[in-house]
Amino acid sequence: MKFSIERAVLLKAVSQAQSVVERRNTIPILANVLIEAEGDTVQFRATDLDIEVVDKAPAKVEQAGATTVSALMLHEIVRKLPDGALVAIADDPAAGRLSVQAGRSSFNLATLPKEDFPVMASSEYAANFAAKAGVLKRLFDKSKFAISTEETRYYLNGVYMHVATGEDGQVLRCVATDGHRLARIDAGLPDGASDMPGVIVPRKTVNELRKLLDDDDQEIAVSVSETKVRFATPAITLTSKVIDGTFPDYTRVIPVGNTRQLEVDAKEFAKAVDRVATVSSERSRAVKLSLEADKLVLSVNAPDAGAAEEELVVAYNDEPLEIGFNAKYLQEIADQVDRENAVFLFNSSGDPTLMREGGDTSAVYVVMPMRV
């Protein structure tokens, strides 16, 4: 195998591949990237046995072939090469070495045979559809903060992507929750997605997918089966196993009868919460919201550290209310608001609170209160 490729193109392809590779693994071949050169493209394939990413890059191929080399080392080398360099890569199967040359730099890297590399089995997908990158980015970006990190409740360690019935008919919906807060984001249902089985997309896959979604207008081909999900652009294909579990019935925890409405500038609110939370104890991070006519007082009282309070002018014309929340949860939810105003709907100090952006019901958040 022998080919030459521009540094920028190579760096993009290798960085996508190496980020999938687990730093700590007991199987040496999984630390490697499979490089396959043929025609006028080179394919870089990496896997952790749950996720596989395949990146195609244009190159001048002199001799077709394939080998595997340490993904992390190759990435570090390419990253440190000067901008605009032309990188020549050649494989010596007999010596088990891969040479990387650019300008006056040359490297010889150990390789492992390509036959040992585990390629994810191809499977039949129940639904295939196309969605704009901007749509998928919104669905996953706005929901991923609520993914649970508890390993015991593994079925909450991802984003539940499924077809649901919204206010105006069927929608493509992403939901994530950790039991303390919940995000439910809707988008128009793409053609061909109505037969899609509901799948729980793992956290790592959600983070890797984000790298495919830089160009909002790019069409992403999405394929879904009961066990796998695949996202593809012309250059990159990301295939992942889905979490084998049943996502709980989240509709039961979304309150429908909350009538006390607070409207507040989301950015000002998030900053104010951050300021008063500075004195809160690390463990509970509790912030108290005291509401009365058109006024909100945020306060923290930490006996060992001190106290803080801040007053905000808001739109609220209901009975006075005092309710406490975890500061981090409030900030993360307020950070999701793209428009100026966040609308909070309360019931009582012990019931879940609903938040949405203005009058938009396609993005709904729920946060559980805490005693303060």
Residues 66 and 138 in one domain: no
Residue 202: per-residue pLDDT: 97
Give the CA angle between residues 158, 209, 23 to the nearest 5°: 80
Judge whether 238 and 204 are in contact, CB under 8 Å: no
pLDDT exceeds 90 at position 236: yes
Evaluate whether 200 touches 159 at the Cβ level (below 8 Å): yes
Q: Do 101 and 11 reside in the same domain of the chain?
A: yes
Residue 323 lies in a domain: yes
* Rounded mean pLDDT, 263-285: 88
pLDDT one-digit tens code per residue, 121-148: 888 999 999 999 999 999 999 999 999 9
**What is the C-alpha separation between 155 and 136, in angstroms, rounded?**
21
Measuring CA to CA, how many Å separate 362 from each of 132, 259, 341?
17, 19, 15
CATH number at residue 287: 3.10.150.10
Closest CA to 219 of 194, 197, 243, 192: 192
**Mean pLDDT computed over every residue of the chain:** 94
Question: How many whole angstroms separate alpha carbon 191 and alpha carbon 188?
Answer: 9
Residue 222 near residue 205, CB atoms below 8 Å: no
Within a domain: 122: no
Tally of domains in the chain? 3
Is residue 372 domain-resident? Answer: no
Same domain, 142 and 89: no
Residue 73 lies in a domain: yes
For residue 33, is it within any domain? yes
Phi-psi region of 26 (alpha: psi -120 to 50; beta: other; left: phi over 0): alpha
Reported as a pLDDT band with limits 50, 70 and 90, residue 372 is confident
Residues 221 and 327 reside in one and the same domain: no
For the cut 90, the answer to whether the pLDDT of residue 340 exceeds it is: no
Q: Is residue 121 part of a domain?
A: no
Please compute the mean of the pLDDT values over residues 40-48 and round it to a whole number.
96
Owner of token pair 């995000």: 183
Euclidean distance between CA atoms 186 and 166, whole angstroms = 8
Percent of the chain with pLDDT over 90: 86
pLDDT band at 154 (very low <50, low <70, confident <90, very high): very high
User: Where does a domain end: 116, 145, 168?
Assistant: 116
Residues 107 and 139 in one domain: no
Q: What pLDDT does 293 receive?
A: 94
Task: Give yes or no: residues 239 and 310 share one domain.
Answer: no
- Out of 252, 275, 301, pick the residue that ends a domain: 252
Per the structure, the complete domain to which residue 340 belongs is given by 254-367
Considering the domain architecture, whether residues 261 and 248 belong to the same structural domain is answered as: no
Q: Do residues 300 and 235 share a domain?
A: no
**Antiparallel, parallel or unpaired: β 306-313 and 295-302:** antiparallel
pLDDT (average), residues 107-116: 96
Average pLDDT over residues 143-156: 95
Q: What is the distance, to the nearest Å, from the Cα of residue 243 to the centroid of all Cα atoms in its chain?
A: 15
φ, ψ dihedrals at 328, nearest 5° = -60, -40
Average pLDDT value for residue range 7-14 = 96
Between CA 367 and CA 357 the distance in angstroms is 15
Rounded CA-CA distance 2/99 in Å is: 9
Q: Do 246 and 260 fall into the same domain?
A: no
| Domain identity same for 216 and 261 | no
Say whether pLDDT at 295 is over 90. Answer: yes
Three-state helix/strand/coil letters over the chain: CEEEEEHHHHHHHHHHHHHHCCCCCCCHHHHEEEEEEECCEEEEEEECCCEEEEEEEECEEEECEEEEEEHHHHHHHHHHCCCCCEEEEEEECCCCEEEEEECCEEEEEEEECHHHCCCCCCCCCCEEEEEEHHHHHHHHHCCHHHCCCCCCCHHHCEEEEEEEEECCEEEEEEEEECCCEEEEEEEECCCCCCCCCCEEEEHHHHHHHHHHCCCCCCEEEEEECCCEEEEECCCEEEEEECCCCCCCCHHHHCCCCCCEEEEEEHHHHHHHHHHHHCCCCCCCCEEEEEEECCEEEEEEEECCCEEEEEEEECECCCCCEEEEEEHHHHHHHHCCCCCCEEEEEECCCCCCEEEEECCEEEEEEEECCCCC
Cα 266 to chain centroid distance, Å, stands at: 22
Neighbour-count burial for 227-243, b at 16+ CB within 10 Å, e otherwise: ebbbbbbebbbbbbbbb
The pairing of beta strand 86-92 with beta strand 341-346: unpaired
Bridging pattern class, strands 169-177 and 181-188: antiparallel
Stated length of the chain: 372
Clarify whether residues 231 and 308 are in a common domain: no
Q: What does the alpha-carbon distance between residue 101 and residue 89 come to, in Å, rounded to a whole number?
A: 6
**Residue 155 belongs to a domain:** yes
93 and 150 inside one domain: no
What's the distance, CA 149 to chain centroid? 13
Report the percent of the chain where pLDDT is more than 70.
99
Domain end position, chosen among 252, 270, 302:
252
pLDDT(166) > 90: no
- Domain for residue 54, yes or no? yes
pLDDT for residue 369: 95
- Of the pLDDT bands very low, low, confident and very high (cuts 50, 70, 90), residue 283 is low
